[in-house]
Chains A and B, each alone.
Chain A
Amino acid sequence: MEGERPYLSASGAPLSLRRRQHSASCRELAVRCPRLQLRSLSAATSAVWLAAYGLFALCQNSMVLSAAIFLTLAGLIIYLHFVKIDQESLLVIGSLGIQVTSSYASGKESTTFIEMSRVKDVVINEAVHMQKVIYYLCILLQDPQDPEGVSEVVPLFQSSKPRLDCLIEVYKSCQEILDQRKTAPQSS
């Protein structure tokens, strides 16, 4: 099923969730984060340049102004390439595994693949985070030797932090795929 719906993040920013079904056992869910606002960019740049101009008025050294321009440019590039995440997506392939992709604003993409034998379940967990209690989706990993215990927890959608309504949609989609591996014959 295709479609984009509007949702909210934990801090109130608008998000959109896009679901695509590639086949009966393969689904892709992508959460797009809000773009970099022009007003916050202008506010940060003006603040840095005002501070630099104030410093220049104090010490009369023109290097301060050039350093401020260079810092603003370098800071923006580093922010776009390492910090600002544009879209986080989850690709669930029933017989193969789960692939988590984060794409940054500069175009960089970082992916992680977890094979299906290590995946115990995908659940919505609640935890205390920065003086708030938030719901977040996470993959529970199991040790192949110990199928009862949870060896690791991988939180998903860390920078977009969608709210519970969006998480329930993603959870239901994932559970439909994960249920298939119980009904399908086990192949070792």
Chain B
Amino acid sequence: NSPAPLPERAIYGFALFLGSWFGFILYLIWAYVPETWLFSLGLTYWPQKYWAVALPAYLLVAVGIGYVLLFGINMMSTAPLNSTRTITDNYAKKQQHKKFQEEAIPALRDVPISEVNRMFFLPEK
């Protein structure tokens, strides 16, 4: 799964490039060419030109609201000050205690908050 360039990725990239140019030219034709000319070509069932202006406007407003929405979702999922999620969680509650071995690096574990507090705040300097 490396990000190195591959022949398949070059082909996908070029196909996307051509596709996006085609889509853009089609959008410009839809927005600017008068309806009578399109009707004379036989293209009668295209959407109203109103949407050629409305859709970009909707998109930009949605992006702006998305910033506010993301901020709000972040604030809502922050744990309140009185919840036990600020102290522990399921993985910490179910952790196994490995035995202490001499000359070995101690196993990784969640230290209880009472121990941490004692170590930080109680010794006299």
Contacts and interface: CB of A to CB of B under 8 A. Distances in A.
Interface residues on A, range: 20 to 34
A124 interface: yes
A140 to B, nearest CB: 7
B113 interface: yes
B29 to A, nearest CB: 48
A125 to B, nearest CB: 6
B87 interface: yes
A175 B93 CA distance: 24
Contacts of A43: none
Interface residues of B, number: 16
A153 B84 contact: yes
B81 A127 contact: yes
Interface in A131-155: 136, 138, 140, 149-155
Contact of A127 (B86, B88, B117, B121): B86
A152 B81 contact: no
Interface string B70-83: 00000000110111
7 contacts: A121-B113, A121-B114, A129-B81, A140-B87, A140-B114, A153-B86, A153-B87
